[in-house]
Amino acid sequence: MLHGFKKSERMLSETDIEQLFSSGSRSLSVFPVRAVFRQVDNGVEPLMVLISVSKRHFHYAVNRNRAKRQMREAFRLHKEILRKPLIENGLRMHLAFVWMSDSPQSSAKVTESVIRLLKLVAERL
């Protein structure tokens, strides 16, 4: 099984991002990551993802990039937890991972948080 994170799986549209963070979206948190998700009717991929780390949490770009890399890698390796149920039910979803911590976290902790969030979102389908 290939573990990729294709460009078509990334949420790039400003309208999609605005809709995701507007009313009607749901949110779950497992420290240090928060997931904001919303079922949608359109889209090529069953799951489109946005990864965000605010300057408010990390002032230096190197720290923001590391946190984004950790979340991206955890998602890339474990995305099938959520993708399979979406495909089986014929659903489409937009999902954002937002960093909440003010300090760097270990990759193991980030991966554990992302896995738990994917499982929780899959349960809510």
pLDDT tens digit string along 83-101? 999 999 999 999 999 999 9
Number of domains in the chain: 1
Is residue 2 in a domain?
Answer: no
Residue 43 has pLDDT above 80, yes or no: no
- Among 11-20, 21-30, 43-52, 108-117, the range with the most confident prediction by mean pLDDT is 108-117
Is residue 110 in a domain?
Answer: yes
Whole-number pLDDT of residue 2: 64
pLDDT tens digit string along 8-28? 999 999 999 999 998 789 999
Is residue 71 in a domain?
Answer: yes
Q: Which domain holds residue 67?
A: 10-123
Q: How far apart are CA 10 and CA 57, in angstroms?
A: 23
> Which residue carries 């896995």 as its tokens?
115
Quick count: other Cβ atoms within 10 Å of Cβ 122? 15
**What is the sign of the dihedral through the CA atoms of 25, 30, 34 and 35?**
negative
Is residue 119 in a domain?
Answer: yes
Per-residue pLDDT, averaged over 38-51, amounts to 91
Whole-number pLDDT of residue 3: 79
